[in-house]
Amino acid sequence: MKVEELTGLPEGVVDHFHEQGIEELYPPQAEAVEAGVTEGDSVVASVPTASGKTFVAELAMLSSIARGGKALYIVPLRALASEKKAEFEEFEQYGVSVGVSTGNYDSDGDWLAQKDIIVATSEKVDSLVRNGAQWVDDLSCVVADEVHLVDDSHRGPTLEVTLAKLRKLNENLQTVALSATVGNAEVMAEWLDATLVDSDWRPIDLRAGVLYGQALHFDDGSKTQISRGNEKATAALVEDTLSDDGSSLVFVNSRKNAEAAARRLADVTRDYLTDEERTKLRDIAAEIRDASDTQTSDDLADAVAKGAAFHHAGLASEHRALVEDAFRDRLVKVISATPTLAAGVNTPSRRVIVRDWRRYDGDVGGMQPLDVLEVHQMFGRAGRPGLDPYGEAVLIANNHDEMDELFDRYVWADPEAVQSKLAAEPALRTHILATVASGFADSEDELLSFLERTLYATQTTESGRLAAVADNVLEYLERNEFLEREADGGLRATGLGHRVSQLYIDPMSAAEIIDGLRAAEDRPTAMGLFHLVARTPDMYELYLRSGDREEYTELAYERETEFLGSMPSEFEDHAFEDWLSALKTARLLEDWASELDEDDITERYGVGPGDIRGKVETAEWLLNAAERLAGELDLEFGAAIREAKKRVEYGVEDELLDLAGVRNVGRKRARRLFAAGIESRADLREADKSVVLGALRGRRKTTETILENVGRKDPDLDGVSADAEAEATATSSSNDGQQSLGDFQ
């Protein structure tokens, strides 16, 4: 199908596609158009990565907008939301407005009502529905990207229930679901009342194979020799790709292995850099160091300067963005990554190397093979349309039998069927309460009728299981005063239940917080509040490492009077261990809020900078919920909770809260300003500029920005020199303060 044959799009869009070099639609795209995707019909597109799924979504959304509608694009990850927003903004020149929303789960997002395309995570869409966003009723098209993730036990139920709610709110809603190739795409199409476009077509060839020894065996029967010398298999494959001016993605099974592989592979890539590339990479490495003062940041910067990088969930978001951009710009030649990079972020490469096809599974206590779908998602990153003549995906075998196993298990195998994970109590607790609180069901019959709209109901052969699990959840919610069940089967959310649903926390987290606050006799301490939110299901606790139990048991007895709720006995082994894990997490938050250096925290707790920020953001969110719940229950702890929330948000002692709240100041600059005698916003507005400049280490642009942000009428620094004494005092005080904090080892 020629692009000029497309109809029903906003004026100028077809010409725009021409300008981008799109003359003809890919076969799956043409099939989607024939299935009615530009006419408001629902479609499930189950096609390989890089086969033009986003273009199908654009056609659906733009044609819907041309008919006077509004479109929603649901993504699984925040990083992907920003990426998609940037892509869709190219249509703003044709009168299409784009908005993105991923945070603040207790807001209604009214400002989004003015946008034609809204990009959001499934969790954010769910929260918007709970909080009564009126514009949701105006949706005419919803796109669910990576819809096969309904199979994920953590994220899947939210995506599944959210799609069911949107389709109930809008009976004529066009649903476009984009998926990797899965084993049961027809079931998803049945669930969504959609036409299935199921294709294995790719714009460039993808060869998959296994390296054994020096021979790379491909699925088409061909074979390539890889010169290895003394190199290990992965390094030899990367160097072979570099010799043909290609890039590589290496998938490994742990963060530690990702970092170690990047260090080794940097010794390969550094010899393939031009002088211009080295200069640009040095600049990127400097940005990486500025993003975080940690050893992880330094290690990443060292690798990037040589043309290699690692990528995992422990990195700060700024780190990940810098690495991804440098890789897309072909400056970084290889990334070693954990499988998270395969989940949708746009980082294609010439060759994908799946070095580790097993990873540790805590549920079974050992190494387990990866799913076929997950490995095929990695494979799909191979080959960049317009840049590479082909793509290659390679597994590595240690012997001939393993080579045969890898061909059978992954290369020639079909991906698994997607299975709903909804019928589990943790998933249903939050969604049943929200379904009742937001008016989707006023009785048990209506609740079960709504649940019949889910993928689980489409798939299940166990009649009655969903009703039985739902009944257990209703009993729990009633016992905790979140809803009331009437004799005739009616359901009504209480005022407290409405608040819990709007706050977007697990009802079990709410129950834990409420019980803890009710147990408090005096004003709770920051540690008591940190520990309270750390032991909720919404906070992923830190694991106890070897030797931690004794250390944290001692700390537990030292700080017992601060805990909100009774500490379990040491003889209640599982409960006590959970209590100590929460204490370790709370101690990390306390160290952060006591201004302990980020690098010391990463070393003490064995985490990355991204983990610290993840814990901090989660704690801030849960403390906000605790403050709101305390208000709902007329408990007099709002000020204490608010202070703890601000301390964890800014990472400072309470004396710095006023200063740290000024945009661009942050925890370290606040401490330097304080040491120079500038103790508040008012002081900062009136202080001698030379003292401010000295406290901020002579950084003129930063100082001017901060003075402007605090409301200084004359932020200009022309003719101002840094006060040497202020600079020396601030630096000395900052270093001394951080070294003296957190002596718990």
How many CB atoms sit inside 10 A of residue 48's CB? 21
Query: In whole angstroms, what separates CA 384 from the centre of its chain?
Result: 24
pLDDT at 471 over 50: yes
Backbone angles phi, psi at 319, to 5 degrees: -60, -50
Phi, psi dihedrals of residue 393, rounded to the nearest 5°: -120, 125
> DSSP labels for 615-632?
HHHHHHHHHHHHHHHHHH
Both tokens assigned to 699: 């950084």
pLDDT at position 107 is: 64
Residues 527-572: tens digit of each pLDDT: 999 999 999 999 988 999 888 999 999 999 999 999 999 999 999 8
What is the dihedral sign for C-alpha 360, 361, 366, 367? Answer: negative
What values do phi and psi take at 181, rounded to 5? -65, 120
**How many percent of the chain have pLDDT more than 70?**
97
Q: What distance in Å separates the CA atoms of residue 161 and residue 438, rounded to the nearest whole number?
A: 13
What the block records as the tokens of 717 is 């620094």
Lowest mean pLDDT among 188-192, 459-463, 611-615, 671-675: 459-463
- 58-116 tens-digit pLDDT: 999 999 999 999 999 999 888 788 889 999 999 999 999 999 987 766 666 788 999 99
Q: Has residue 744 got a pLDDT over 60?
A: no
> Phi/psi of residue 396, each to 5°?
-120, 125
Q: What is the rounded average pLDDT of the residues 393-406?
A: 96
Q: What is the mean pLDDT of the segment spanning 517-534?
A: 96
Mean pLDDT of 516-521: 93
CB count in 10 Å sphere of residue 743: 7
DSSP letter, residue 744: -
675 within 8 A of 733, measured Cβ to Cβ: yes
Q: What pLDDT was estimated at residue 690?
A: 94
**CA atoms of 529 and 594, how far apart (whole Å):** 15
C-beta of residue 258 within 8 angstroms of C-beta of residue 353: no
CA distance readout (Å), 454 to 13, 181, 489: 35, 21, 22
Mean pLDDT of 396-410: 96
Buried b (16+ CB within 10 A) or exposed e, 340-374: ebbbbbbbbbbbbbbbbbebeeeeeeeeeebebbb
d(CA 531, CA 581): 10
Task: Provide the pLDDT confidence category of residue 737 given band limits of 50, 70 and 90.
Answer: very low
- Structural class in CATH, domain 425-503: mainly alpha
Cα–Cα separations (whole angstroms), residue 558 to 104, 336, 744: 36, 43, 12
According to DSSP, the residues that pair with 525 across neighbouring strands are none
The region, left, alpha or beta by phi > 0 then psi within -120 to 50, assigned to residue 652 is beta
CA distance 627 to 673: 30
- CA dist 498 and 106 (Å) reads 11
**CA distances in angstroms from 121 to 85, 150, 732, listed in the order given:** 12, 13, 44
What sign has the CA pseudo-torsion 670, 673, 679, 683?
A: negative
The SS3 call for residue 327 is: helix
Q: Pairing relation of β-strands 206-212 and 215-218? A: antiparallel
Rg from Cα positions in the chain: 27
- Identity of the highest mean pLDDT range in 64-73, 200-209, 465-474: 64-73
Q: In which element (H, E) is residue 119 found?
A: strand 117-121
**Cα 696 from Cα 707, distance rounded (Å):** 11
Domain 206-411 has CATH 3.90.1150.10: no
Other beta carbons within 10 Å of 483:
24
The predicted structure's pLDDT at residue 478: 97
Question: Which residues does 217 contact at the CB level (< 8 Å), separation at least 6?
Answer: 209, 210, 211, 223, 403, 407
Whether the predicted pLDDT of 162 surpasses 60:
yes
| DSSP letter, residue 105 | T
Structure tokens given for 592 = 């952060």
What CA–CA distance (Å, rounded) separates 275 from 327? Answer: 17
How far is Cα 390 from Cα 685, in angstroms, rounded to an integer?
60
Domain 3-198 has CATH 3.40.50.300: yes
pLDDT digits (tens, 9 = 90+) for 630-663: 999 999 999 999 999 999 999 999 999 999 999 9
46 vs 418: CA distance, rounded Å: 12
State the greatest distance between any 2 C-alpha atoms of the chain, in Å, as a whole number.
79
pLDDT tier, 741 (very low <50, low <70, confident <90, very high otherwise): very low
Tokens 């819990």 found at? 500
Please tell me the predicted confidence (pLDDT) of residue 590: 98
Please enumerate in sequence order all residues whose Cβ is within 8 A of that of 282, keeping only pairs 6 or more positions apart, or say none. 305
The alpha carbon torsion through 729, 731, 732, 735 (nearest 10 deg) reads 150
Alpha helix stretches (DSSP H) within 292-334 = 295-305, 317-328
Name the DSSP class of 344: S
Those residues with Cβ within 8 angstroms of residue 718's Cβ, 6 or more apart along the chain or in another chain: none
Residue 738 pLDDT grade (very low, low, confident, very high; cuts 50, 70, 90): very low
246-250, 398-402, 540-544, 622-626: the lowest-pLDDT one? 540-544
Tell me the one-letter amino acid at 531.
Answer: H
Do domains 3-198 and 507-651 share one topology? The answer is no
**Taking the chain, what is the end-to-end CA distance rounded to the nearest angstrom?**
67
Per the confidence metrics, is the pTM higher than 0.85?
yes
Q: What pLDDT shows up at residue 144?
A: 97
Instruction: Say what the pLDDT of residue 509 is.
Output: 97
- Report the mean per-residue pLDDT for the chain: 92
Q: What is the pLDDT of residue 139?
A: 97
What average pLDDT does this structure show over 377-384?
88
Alpha carbons 183 and 373: distance in angstroms, whole number: 9
Res. 342: pLDDT tops 90: no
Residue 532 is encoded by which pair of tokens? 């309270």
pLDDT at 742 > cutoff 60:
no
- Report how far residue 617's alpha carbon sits from residue 607's, in angstroms, rounded to the nearest whole number: 15
pLDDT in tens, 697-708: 888 999 999 999
- Both tokens of 412, joined, read 């020639």
507-651: CATH topology is Sec63 N-terminal domain-like fold (1.10.3380)
Using alpha carbons, select from 686, 687, 645, 651 the residue that is nearest to residue 669. Answer: 651
Task: Please report, for residues 54, 86, 600, 603, the alpha-carbon distance to residue 296 in angstroms, rounded to integers and kept in the order given.
Answer: 34, 29, 11, 10
- 250 in Cβ contact with 353 (< 8 Å): yes
- Per-residue pLDDT of 241-266, as tens digits, reads 999 999 999 999 999 999 999 999 99
Domain extent listing, the chain: 3-198, 206-411, 425-503, 507-651, 658-740
* 3-state SS string for 186-227: HHHHHHCCCEEEECCCCCCCEEEEEEECCEEEECCCCEEECC
- CA torsion through residues 262, 268, 269, 270, sign: positive
Q: Name every residue whose Cβ is closer than 8 Å to that of residue 40 and which is 6 or more positions away in sequence.
A: 63, 64, 67, 140, 141, 172, 174
What would the mean pLDDT of 438-463 be, rounded to a whole number? 92
What percent of the chain is predicted at pLDDT more than 90?
79
